[in-house]
Amino acid sequence: MLQEHPDALLLAQTADGLVVPPPQSLGLEHHPVLATTGRTLDLCVAADRMAAVNAWVDAKREMAAEARVRLCSDPGQWMSLHVFNLLDTHGVALNVAWPTAEAAADGRSSAIGVPFSAAPRFCTRKQDQEGNVVECDQAYLQMFGYTADEVIGKATFQRVHPEDQARVIEGWTTIVTTGRIQMFRVRMKRQDGSWLWVDTTLHNYLGDEGLGYVLAECIDVSVEMAAQEALQDREELLRNLIEEMPDGLLQLDSEREVVYHNPRLLEILNGSDIAVEGRSRRSEEIGAHVPREPEVATLRTLLKTLTDKGGYAFETAVKQGLKEGVRRAVEVEAVTPSGQQQHLLMKVRPLQRDSGQVTGVIVSVLDVTDSARQRQELERRATFDVLTGAHNRSSILEALTRELQQSNNTGVIYVDLDRFKAVNDSLGHAAGDEVLVEVAERLKNAMRSNDELGRLGGDEFLILLRNVSGVEVAMSAAQRLSESACKTCELSGASLELRVSIGVACVDDRPVTAEELVARADAAMYLSKDGRLGIPVLAA
């Protein structure tokens, strides 16, 4: 295999997965080595570590195994990895890896003289009391791309990123003066001008006989830092999106404590009147030695503008989200401090782990006051007659149908204006509209509180009678309506004597539909019109 792939990289590991130099018994001293220290898993990208583990397990059982992985040092290149179990004969498992013809999705590859796949992740250097390098291992030169002449005798401080120099100097001063081990994470310049993140541990051997140096152990953590920086970039993007989105956002934990809310939520809930009360619980737990998170208002303060009914609907949705993992959307009402009514759409979504455990809820809040008012106006227009304010034909018939399904003690009164066409012809349609509005108002005033008035069309009205214990009650109501309607009506340009014809129908022992009951009252109304006296007539 090595003859076919002379540029393959070697990696030897012990039974517990630690990387060691290949033993001399293998006779491979002159072959490129992937690494000589660390852990095998740390060399692979996170997504491919399980493949490496499976190959290791299979090699223990079958003596040999293979896998396809990407290295952290060169994630743009797929590697063919072959694992050979030589624990019994040489005390190690030997890994042989070489690049495949297939590049990873991002197409990236190594860009420095020493291939990243061969660059070590751990190295050491020795420094004198002034910080000058007196010795370094080959791994150090490979990691940073320098030659020994470029490193020996030079101070490492000058290769530290300017933003990290204060931390390095403080650590160096501390170890020289106290002898205590110092650890810090800094960026060090490579020979090609790029910066490499390393974890550095300093050991003070200046006072030890025969040593007289500070030992610096460096671990390449550039992959980890790149991942952290990418995560920070995504978090910053998400934070900006959340703060600029039109919805208010509220996060509650499992104990209903406020974890986060964005500024937009305060604006929607009239934030100028909301004072922040206390800090978030998490910021209290962190302590005073680190910067605190932005302060958040308490849940009670945030929701104080909700009506009692709105608060109950929200509480119910949150309880179902936390206890049952249910997603709910509720529209609630709120009243601002200035007295204006708000309609808020609150969408409650549980936050669940892969195990199904609910850790809290996220609530999006949108001010839908304008759309709610438009919807109510459309509903009103679909339900009520624009001119008279009475139910329209379809609405009053639907109400009658529902009442018939619930009770047999139901009746209707059919009212028709006499000589209404003559009013329109002689005085005009504006005068006719005045008459209709006046008649509707008179009928409303004469009705019982639990009855309903509807306009069937033109000059015809229908009164729905509820809880009619007998025809006498219905006829009494009809007579009261007739007396109220049949009076002089003062119009803008004339005075008019009004008269109406009235038919009454009540539910009897026979099953009846709304249309049939109205038809019976209509027929009785025509009998009343024939009499021309405005006297109500009961349908047979």
User: What pLDDT was estimated at residue 403?
Assistant: 94
Q: Is 291 exposed, middle or buried (0-12, 13-18, 19+ CB in 10 A)?
A: exposed
CA 142 to chain centre: 46
Instruction: Return the H-helix or E-strand segment holding 239.
Output: helix 222-244
Asked whether the beta carbons of 59 and 89 are under 8 A apart, the reply is no
Measured distance CA(4)–CA(392) in Å, rounded: 90
Pairing assessment for the beta strands 64-71 and 19-20 based on DSSP bridges:
unpaired
Measured distance CA(26)–CA(90) in Å, rounded: 7
Measured distance CA(21)–CA(507) in Å, rounded: 101
Provide the sign of the torsion angle of the four alpha carbons 40, 44, 50, 56, taken in this order: negative
Question: Residue 457 forms beta bridges with which residues?
Answer: 460
Asked whether the beta carbons of 390 and 453 are under 8 A apart, the reply is yes
> Fold for domain 384-538?
Alpha-Beta Plaits (3.30.70)
Instruction: Return the H-helix or E-strand segment holding 223.
Output: helix 222-244
Three-state helix/strand/coil letters over 478-496: HHHHHHHHCCEEECCCCEE
Provide the sign of the torsion angle of the four alpha carbons 127, 132, 138, 139, taken in this order: positive
DSSP state of 302: H
Three-state helix/strand/coil letters over 142-183: HHHCCCHHHHCCCEHHHHECHHHHHHHHHHHHHHHHHCCCEE
Q: Which of 132, 124, 171, 129 is nearest to 151 (CA)?
A: 132
Q: Is 242 exposed, middle or buried (0-12, 13-18, 19+ CB in 10 A)?
A: middle
CA distance readout (Å), 87 to 93, 295, 517: 6, 58, 98
Same CATH topology for 9-117 and 384-538: the answer is: no
Measured distance CA(435)–CA(498) in Å, rounded: 9
Asked whether the beta carbons of 443 and 415 are under 8 A apart, the reply is yes
Half-sphere exposure (Cβ direction) of 278: Cα atoms closer than 13 Å: 13
Asked whether the beta carbons of 337 and 305 are under 8 A apart, the reply is yes
Residues 6 or more apart whose Cβ sits within 8 Å of residue 223: 45, 72, 73
Measured distance CA(425)–CA(417) in Å, rounded: 15
Helix ranges (DSSP H) in 269-365: 281-286, 299-302, 308-324
Pick the CATH number of 122-226 from 3.40.50.970, 3.90.1150.10, 3.30.450.20, 3.30.70.20: 3.30.450.20
User: What pLDDT was estimated at residue 49?
Assistant: 85
**Identity at 188, one-letter amino acid code:** M
Measured distance CA(360)–CA(350) in Å, rounded: 6
Helix ranges (DSSP H) in 278-328: 281-286, 299-302, 308-324
Asked whether the beta carbons of 387 and 437 are under 8 A apart, the reply is yes
User: What pLDDT was estimated at residue 241?
Assistant: 80
First to last CA, the chain: 108
The CATH homologous superfamily to which domain 9-117 belongs is PAS domain (3.30.450.20)
Measured distance CA(414)–CA(517) in Å, rounded: 10
Measured distance CA(383)–CA(394) in Å, rounded: 8
CA distance readout (Å), 283 to 239, 251, 260, 290, 532: 18, 15, 11, 9, 84
Rg (CA), the chain: 43
Residue ranges of domains in the chain: 9-117, 122-226, 247-372, 384-538
DSSP state of 247: S
Provide the sign of the torsion angle of the four alpha carbons 38, 42, 44, 49, taken in this order: positive
Question: Residue 65 forms beta bridges with which residues?
Answer: 83
Mean pLDDT per 10-residue interval, the chain, length 540 residues: 87 87 88 82 83 88 91 84 93 92 49 44 91 92 92 91 92 90 92 92 91 92 84 82 83 91 85 45 38 62 89 93 92 86 92 89 90 77 87 93 92 93 85 91 92 93 93 94 89 83 92 94 93 86
User: What pLDDT was estimated at residue 102?
Assistant: 66
Measured distance CA(493)–CA(134) in Å, rounded: 114
Pick the CATH number of 247-372 from 3.90.1580.10, 3.30.450.20, 1.10.10.10, 3.90.1570.10: 3.30.450.20
Structure tokens at 446: 């004469």
Measured distance CA(144)–CA(133) in Å, rounded: 14
Asked whether the beta carbons of 503 and 535 are under 8 A apart, the reply is no
pTM: 0.45
Provide the sign of the torsion angle of the four alpha carbons 378, 379, 382, 386, taken in this order: negative
Measured distance CA(6)–CA(32) in Å, rounded: 9
Structure tokens at 366: 């949108």
